[in-house]
């Protein structure tokens, strides 16, 4: 019995030592960082910004209305399906509200529900971005559909018919409302479709737009292309332009990606913004090319939105998170970054996250979390 007690004590001490080392390493990394975002990452609240019982929760977008209330738009899909690829066949966008930017946000309504296979986005509305412009609210998102019956948990795999068809049907779309509470009118057709013989011939996804001073839109998006063997390529990111948020959208750079798979490695989950210095982006370092951390965040800058340079100190965020309760942990995933701006300055970083070791199949919970940014 004494031997077992000693072993338990040793294991506890080792765990505490490892946690202390992680904390020390993370604090030191942020302290020494010259990245304008990473060194401002503060301690994260344990309370999720948004979660719902019975649902997988993923990426968010937040806006403040004229009355000072904050609105969050989030992807959700039922836990009766596996996380991956459940989001491709059963995701809807829901809306929550809070009096504080960090939340917690309370569920308000379903903004974009499932609406059936006959619609181009009938089985999935995902990756929302919310804007207000000219007195109207705009939701840009990824949508998809399929013609099949509803799958069961065990039927839905990456090799299943549902996933194969829904993945190839991913497109970027737009919905419009007069109020953050809706009702939302979706455009009949996607605003950005695939194009043959391009890096986005297979699908378009992960939209991250900005509305510029003249009302035009610049939008970073993710694409994949068809390969000769019938499969699809690795991920790349391109940029599209429209004179107005409702379109029409044209892919710039001669239909070439701005972040090439061969040069930058796979990258996804972009968040784009613009200030007086130019354009800026953070995105997921899918293969640890820049951050030495698979799934860490990269920052890059551009004068024109087409030609990009990675920041001299590129690490913008880490999957290792420092919490308000003094603990530190590496999240199973930390994706879909979104920065909330107040008076032109970023004040909070929102992320989709989950528990468990790295890998979607290892998680039991997912939610949206927030990290306040130090002034």
Which structural domains are found in the chain, ordered by start?
35-372 (2.115.10.20)
- Mean pLDDT value of segment 75-94: 97
d(CA 152, CA 360): 18
Quick one: how far is CA 279 from the chain centroid? Answer: 19
d(CA 11, CA 75): 39
The pTM for the full model equals 0.92
d(CA 38, CA 316): 5
d(CA 306, CA 120): 29
Burial 160-190, CB ≥16 within 10 A → b, else e = bebbebbbebbbbbbbbeeebebebebeeeb
Whether the pLDDT of residue 105 is over 90: the answer is yes
Tell me what pLDDT residue 267 has: 77
Tell me what pLDDT residue 107 has: 98
- Mean pLDDT value of segment 230-257: 94
Comparing 362 with 211, which gets the higher pLDDT? Answer: 211
**Residues 286, 325 contacting (CB under 8 angstroms):** no
- Mean pLDDT value of segment 59-64: 97
What are the tens digits of pLDDT across the range 294-324? 889 999 999 999 999 999 999 999 999 999 9
Tell me what pLDDT residue 132 has: 96
Tell me what pLDDT residue 61 has: 98
In DSSP terms, 70 is beta-bridged to 64, 98
Quick one: how far is CA 127 from the chain centroid? Answer: 6
**pLDDT cut 70: percent of the chain above it:** 92
Residue count of the chain: 375
Average pLDDT, the chain: 91
Tell me what pLDDT residue 294 has: 86
């Amino acid at each position: 019995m004494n031997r077992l007690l000693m072993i338990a004590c040793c294991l506890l001490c080792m765990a505490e030592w490892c946690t202390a080392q992680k904390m020390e390493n993370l604090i030191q990394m942020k302290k020494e960082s010259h990245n304008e975002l990473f060194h401002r990452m503060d301690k994260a609240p344990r309370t999720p910004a948004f979660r719902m019982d019975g649902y997988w929760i993923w990426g968010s977008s937040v806006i403040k209305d004229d009355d000072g209330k904050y609105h969050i738009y989030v992807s959700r899909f039922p836990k009766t399906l596996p996380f991956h690829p459940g989001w491709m066949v059963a995701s809807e966008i829901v809306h929550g509200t809070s009096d504080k930017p960090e939340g917690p946000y309370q569920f308000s309504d379903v903004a974009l529900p499932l609406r059936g296979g006959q619609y181009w986005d009938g089985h999935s509305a995902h990756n929302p971005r919310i804007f207000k412009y000219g007195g109207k609210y705009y939701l840009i998102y990824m949508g998809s559909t399929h013609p099949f019956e509803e799958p069961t948990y065990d039927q839905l795999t990456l090799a299943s018919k549902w996933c194969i068809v829904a993945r190839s049907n991913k497109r970027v779309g737009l919905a419009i409302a007069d109020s953050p509470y809706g009702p939302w009118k979706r455009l009949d057709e996607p605003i950005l479709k695939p194009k043959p013989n391009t890096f986005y011939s297979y699908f378009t996804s992960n939209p991250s737009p900005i509305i510029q001073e003249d009302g035009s839109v610049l939008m970073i998006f993710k694409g994949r292309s068809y390969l000769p063997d019938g499969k699809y390529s690795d991920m790349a990111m391109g940029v599209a332009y429209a004179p107005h948020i409702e379109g029409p959208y044209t892919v710039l750079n001669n239909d070439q990606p701005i972040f090439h798979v061969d040069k930058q490695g796979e990258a996804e989950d972009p968040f784009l913004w613009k200030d007086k210095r130019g354009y800026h982006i953070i995105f997921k370092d899918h293969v640890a090319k820049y951050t030495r951390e698979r799934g860490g965040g990269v920052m890059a800058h551009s004068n024109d939105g087409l030609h990009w340079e990675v920041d001299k100190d590129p690490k913008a965020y880490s999957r290792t998170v420092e919490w308000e309760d003094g603990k530190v942990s590496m999240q199973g995933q930390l994706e879909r970054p979104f920065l909330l701006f107040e008076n032109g300055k970023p004040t909070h970083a929102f992320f989709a996250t989950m528990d468990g070791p790295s890998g979607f199949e290892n998680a039991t919970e997912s939610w949206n979390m927030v990290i306040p940014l130090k002034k």
